Structure 1
Amino acid sequence: MNVFKNIKAAYPVSILLLLLIAGCKKSFLDEYNPSNQTADNYYVDGPGFESLVTSCYPLLRDITQQRMLALAGTDVFAVNNWGAVYYKQPNPSGSPYDQYDIRLNASLAEVQTLWDLLYREINRCNTAVTRAPNITGISDSLRNKRVAEAKFLRALSYFWAVQQWGDIPMPLDETTTANVEVVKVPAKDVYSQIISDLTECISTLPATQSETGRATKGAAQFLLARVYLTRGWNYNNSLGGSDADFTSALKLCDDIIASGLYPLESDWNNLWPLHNINPNQETASASSSVSAANQSKEVIFAVQYANASAYYGDPSAGTTLVGNNMHSEISDGPSIVAQLTRTSAYNRFNPMVRCTWAAYRLFDPKLDARYNGTFNSVCYATTNGSVSLATNNPNPQNITLTYNAGDTTAVARPWNDPVTNVAERGVDIPGGTKHYSVINANEYMGLGYVGGNPVINTLAWGAPMFWKFWQPGIDYGDGYSTFNDPLFRSAEVYLMAAEAIVKGATGAKLGTADVYYNKVLDRALGANAGQSPECAVNPGNVDDLAAVSYRATPGNITIDMILDERARELLGEGDQRWYDLKRTNSLVSRATKYNPWTAFGLNGSPVIDEHVYLRPIPQGELDNSNPSVEQNPGY
């Protein structure tokens, strides 16, 4: 794949950057180009235009690595250790993205960064679209295909932006001069433009591309299906949607399935890097671990990282991003007992978000292969070491535990199979006999607080590791993966179809909504296909072990049930959980019910309300526009 070779920085820049440049007198700021190569003399012929369109792809890496606005504050992800809330730490304080208090405002860096990146990508794509008619030395068919690719990427960027902010600026031509006036376009018009672009893409883009990573007809169909599905929900009656949009979404999903180009993997685990649960027994290399996953036919569109020429991020963005960091961004790492530090054994864990209790309790750990594929519940020593139990322990003892590399140091029990016989606990618990820590699900993230101070346990482990994206063999100093980020895959197509049918779509080719839903479920069950796996009745209440089946029938399937299945199937993928809850008008209800920090709010009372379905317009945009662009309500 060479879609990213010969990338040259296109000159489109954001409005904010242009504002900084505007008005500067001739000085050292003036560009000196010794090669005399400019946008106006390079993007004029076939090779230059190819480079321009190609430059529209790598910025997706920077955009999709801005995960805070897509994952945090949802039902399954929280930023901070939520044990502080459960165990009643005095005056606990979490992230504004979870608590939804006054700190969630226009000054947050993540809000500004995502806005800037999306409009940088939009203007880059606009440059390709604007300049295309005057390009020489290129066939009309190739020109049209590359324009369609640019419009697909522009549509994707606008779709992310309109969901985050609602009414937004919508430039459709290359920005070449500074302009302080920012005009917001109604969200319904943004959706109309996205649909127009993607409809054109579907008729122009090929079913397959010789260069892996480029947009295809299937990718455009998938994105348009999600757009119709979202518009059909018609947030706040502002998107111009109708019930007919659900039928349009369903038809696109059926078309993708009928094409046969994106069959479901027979084994869900084949979608992810190969890795051994015990790093001491790892045999896969960094490259071999992802070779099969990166070639999966189930993946319809992915952000590329495996290709060496695409590995070093976006050179024009001025970032230091190197490769994919999905594997280190969610949940904590291994137990600290007998662990090598700063090595590739468990690599670096610098989590941006952590799984809530609900994320674990939505799975059936015994029947659903996705539980053990998503989480690693056993931790192993990676070096020889020892731990004294004499102090800082719930069960102080004048003994020292010793470990050899490969020994078990901690086990996190499944939510529905807690240890009740104290003898099966670790020796850190009074009456325990095991050489390692054994923690039940209601002890994840800590053992509580006494007198305002956390209970210290030298053997404690916070919670199972998020293991789904883990790639072995990555040097600690790099920390990034060569696993391609699968934004669209066909399992989601079935779940989108099920959602559309529940919302009233007609003309389904495969049957009722449960047929589409169970297609995804049964693949996850593998040899247990046809059985009825069970999740927690109340996923947000860790002390409640009551369970209920999550197999769908024509009579029980609901949007909440589909959202649960989306969480199991797509947990952490596609930077989309917030978008799922926004689309289905479920953010307030599900975050309050399942996210401990959202439920805590301020002083134990939730403060989340409907205004958070739109993000604040970033402060930089407010400051640099004249007249100042109007802020979204509630901020």
Structure 2
Amino acid sequence: MKSIKSKIYAILLGLSIISCSGYLDEENLGNTTAENFYGTKNGYEGLVNATYATLRDVYEPTPYVFCAGTDLFFAAHAEVPLGLASYQTLTPGESNVERLFRSLYQSIQITNLALYHADKTEDFPELESRIAEVKTLRAYYYFMLVQQFGDVSIVENLVNEPITHFERKPASEVYQFIIDQLNEAIAILPPAQTNFGRVTKRAAQHILAKVYLTRAYETYGNGTEDFEMAASLADTAINGQGLNLPFGDLFKYKNDKNEEILWSVQYNKSLSGEISHNWDYPWGPLVQGANDGVVKKNALHPTEYLFTLFEDNDTRFEGTFLNIKTAPYSGYILNPTTTPVEYYYPRTATQIAAVPAWRAADPVNRINTIISPIGAHWWDGLNQVDYPALKKFDRVQTATPSVQYTHDIYLARLGETYLIAAEAYLQSNNPVNAVARVNTVRQRAGASIVANVTLDFILDERARELAGEGFRWLDLKRTGKLVDYTKVRNPDIKALFDGGTNPFVGVGGQLKILRPIPLAVISLDSGEYPQNPGY
């Protein structure tokens, strides 16, 4: 039998993967084999847990590849990769794109390892569910790949010998593989899990609804049939559950496990330190004081479109943005009644008129507050400190070991499920149901009820509901709005268009809509691994 020290060389991944041991060589001092270890319930459960841990690898970096270059945020700092921010200089050498591609295939390799040992491990009551969970994770990773890169290689078996060439499969085949895997998983998955964060039937239905919704826009999709499937699956995932929590509670401090979260990437403190991501960092404003507890930079700056998208009574603005800035920054989480307020950001006429009453409500902490009402300075990229911060992922780090907190990243939550259903119903010629699903979302936010909706309106609603959560680039690509929206709403991209340059036009006049296949992948493949259009 192979020892844990044996290596698997997967050329597509561009790195060596260590069989059964993560990514470090280990001496097999106990003569333990993978077959022995993963053949036990405890060993196999540990392997399944490792497949979940790969989500952290995918989502750990600053989320430029998910959030830059859209109509919601523009680059206000040199740290933001220019190619992702405005496309003109996007090349196959972009490291953020390469890292995403590599981490997705690394994660798929771990899921394949778990599925390889599924019929070799001892039987236990949860085994079928665990297999279904792993299939869902693998399908999710392929869904990420096909949206970002189009045609990709399907690797569904464990790579345990040298492979020097992989074929890119047509995106249509990749989608069918994803759909088949999710349908198999949904048939087995339970409606609820003992451990929060494990994939449930409803979470898989949410993902599959989004898969059908996305494929429906493609030329190889099934159009109305796919939209109808998406609507049906989304409603099934909703399962009659209303949006009962105030919007602000969804991202409240230590409220990550609330009733509306269908699936999320889990974070907590470990013995080796804090397990964290970098999704709180780029939204600014600049925070780097020794007592602030966090470091933030003005990197992905909200656009005028996003800042002005909310009705006066829409609570999602205050649920998304921190309308005060305190000193220390994290003080508003830990000690809100004893933390001085440096800035207050009123945005409505009522809030502006009520500033004296607002200040009088807490004169000790608000006596020296700078009042900064909504205006052009909010969306000025040179403004480093004086604008509301996107707060959804704010973490807390203090000198006290017991106060360490990193917010979970939500991959599927009920508010989005309603909006998936709305879009699918609209596109399958059922506007009545589309309006009903949108109004459920708007009612929770205190926004006005609408009588009809368009695709543009639903995308506006997705912006209000999901800003900063990593879906916008995919939304615009899915609906064919990426160029049209960014060229008028993103100031960096608008400046290029206004100067006569379409930054999306690449090699051969083809548009850079898909991400480039990383240069490392093409150079390491012994055969022909085609590049995407425009690169």
Question: Are positions 1:15 and 2:2 aligned together?
Answer: no
Instruction: Give the Cα separation in 2 of the matches to 1:312 and 1:352.
Output: 29
In structure 1, the residue matched to 2:484 is 589
Using the size of structure 1 for normalisation, the TM-score is 0.72
In structure 1, the residue matched to 2:451 is 553
Question: Are positions 1:268 and 2:247 aligned together?
Answer: yes
- Deviation for aligned residue 1:482: 3.2
Structure 2 contact 209–229 (Cα < 8 Å) conserved: yes
In structure 1, the residue matched to 2:151 is 167
Q: How does 1:40-55 map to 2 (within 5 A)?
A: 40-55=35-50
In structure 1, give the amino acid aligned to 2:308. R
Structure 2 contact 192–201 (Cα < 8 Å) conserved: yes
- Could you say what secondary structure the match of 1:488 adopts? strand
In structure 1, the residue matched to 2:532 is 632
| Residue of structure 2 aligned with 1:489, choices 413, 434, 437 | 413
In structure 1, the residue matched to 2:305 is 358
Structure 2 contact 291–328 (Cα < 8 Å) conserved: no
- Deviation for aligned residue 1:419: 8.2
Larger radius of gyration: 1
Structure 1: 5+ residue runs without aligned partners? 1-7, 23-28, 83-92, 274-288, 314-320, 335-339, 384-404, 421-433, 449-456, 533-550
Question: Are positions 1:247 and 2:228 aligned together?
Answer: yes
- Deviation for aligned residue 1:142: 2.7
- Could you say what secondary structure the match of 1:297 adopts? coil
Structure 2 contact 203–262 (Cα < 8 Å) conserved: yes
Instruction: Give the Cα separation in 1 of the matches to 2:81 and 2:197.
Output: 38
- Could you say what secondary structure the match of 2:463 adopts? helix
In structure 2, the residue matched to 1:517 is 438
Instruction: Give the Cα separation in 2 of the matches to 1:70 and 1:356.
Output: 16
Q: 1:12 to 1:74 in 2, by over 3 A?
A: farther
Q: How does 1:100-499 map to 2 (within 5 A)?
A: 100-101=87-88, 103-135=89-121, 137-139=122-124, 142-234=126-218, 237=219, 239-258=220-239, 260=241, 263-273=242-252, 289-290=253-254, 293-306=255-268, 308=269, 322-333=275-286, 341-344=289-292, 347-350=294-297, 352-364=299-311, 366-382=312-328, 408-414=341-347, 436=370, 438=372, 440-444=374-378, 461-472=385-396, 474-475=398-399, 481-499=405-423
Instruction: Give the Cα separation in 1 of the matches to 2:479 and 2:404.
Output: 33
- Deviation for aligned residue 1:312: 6.1
Instruction: Give the Cα separation in 1 of the matches to 2:347 and 2:6.
Output: 51
- Deviation for aligned residue 1:72: 0.5
1:33-81 Cα offsets, whole Å, 9 max, x none, are 2233343432223222221111100110121234222111001022225
In structure 2, give the amino acid aligned to 1:42. F
- Deviation for aligned residue 1:414: 2.4
- Could you say what secondary structure the match of 1:500 adopts? helix
In structure 2, the residue matched to 1:536 is none
1:406-435 Cα offsets, whole Å, 9 max, x none, are 555434452878989xxxxxxxxxxxxx98
In structure 1, the residue matched to 2:65 is 69
- Deviation for aligned residue 1:552: 2.5
- Deviation for aligned residue 1:380: 3.8
- Deviation for aligned residue 1:21: 8.3
Q: 1:227 to 1:375 in 2, by over 3 A?
A: same
- Deviation for aligned residue 1:134: 2.1
In structure 2, give the amino acid aligned to 1:248. M
In structure 2, the residue matched to 1:598 is 493
Q: 1:439 to 1:81 in 2, by over 3 A?
A: farther
1:418-473 Cα offsets, whole Å, 9 max, x none, are 989xxxxxxxxxxxxx983636421236598xxxxxxxx9xx83421112332445
- Could you say what secondary structure the match of 2:296 adopts? coil
In structure 2, give the amino acid aligned to 1:323. S
| Residue of structure 1 aligned with 2:83, choices 91, 96, 100 | 96
- Could you say what secondary structure the match of 1:117 adopts? helix
- Could you say what secondary structure the match of 1:326 adopts? coil
Instruction: Give the Cα separation in 2 of the matches to 1:409 and 1:374.
Output: 19
Instruction: Give the Cα separation in 2 of the matches to 1:352 and 1:440.
Output: 20
In structure 2, give the amino acid aligned to 1:233. Y
- Could you say what secondary structure the match of 1:75 adopts? coil
- Could you say what secondary structure the match of 2:283 adopts? coil
Identity %: 32
Higher helix share: 2
In structure 1, the residue matched to 2:359 is none
Structure 2: 5+ residue runs without aligned partners? 19-23, 330-337, 354-367
- Could you say what secondary structure the match of 1:552 adopts? coil
- Could you say what secondary structure the match of 1:512 adopts? helix
- Deviation for aligned residue 1:94: 7.9
Structure 1 contact 495–566 (Cα < 8 Å) conserved: yes
Structure 1 contact 75–358 (Cα < 8 Å) conserved: yes
- Could you say what secondary structure the match of 2:503 adopts? coil
Instruction: Give the Cα separation in 2 of the matches to 1:523 and 1:305.
Output: 27
- Deviation for aligned residue 1:324: 3.9
Aligned residues: 499
Instruction: Give the Cα separation in 2 of the matches to 1:479 and 1:357.
Output: 35
- Deviation for aligned residue 1:258: 2.7
In structure 2, give the amino acid aligned to 1:623. S
Q: 1:174 to 1:381 in 2, by over 3 A?
A: closer
Structure 1 contact 325–480 (Cα < 8 Å) conserved: no
Structure 1 contact 418–440 (Cα < 8 Å) conserved: no
In structure 2, give the amino acid aligned to 1:587. L
Structure 1 contact 191–231 (Cα < 8 Å) conserved: yes
Q: 1:516 to 1:96 in 2, by over 3 A?
A: same
- Could you say what secondary structure the match of 2:134 adopts? helix
- Could you say what secondary structure the match of 1:342 adopts? coil
Structure 1 contact 331–353 (Cα < 8 Å) conserved: yes
In structure 2, the residue matched to 1:613 is 513
- Could you say what secondary structure the match of 1:487 adopts? strand
- Deviation for aligned residue 1:374: 1.4
Structure 1 contact 375–465 (Cα < 8 Å) conserved: yes
Instruction: Give the Cα separation in 1 of the matches to 2:166 and 2:372.
Output: 57
- Deviation for aligned residue 1:181: 0.4
1:183-230 Cα offsets, whole Å, 9 max, x none, are 100000000010001001111011111112111101110000000100
- Deviation for aligned residue 1:170: 0.6
- Deviation for aligned residue 1:270: 1.3
Instruction: Give the Cα separation in 2 of the matches to 1:302 and 1:196.
Output: 23
Stretches of 4+ aligned residues off by more than 3 angstroms = 8-22, 29-32, 380-383, 405-413, 415-420, 434-440, 445-448, 471-482
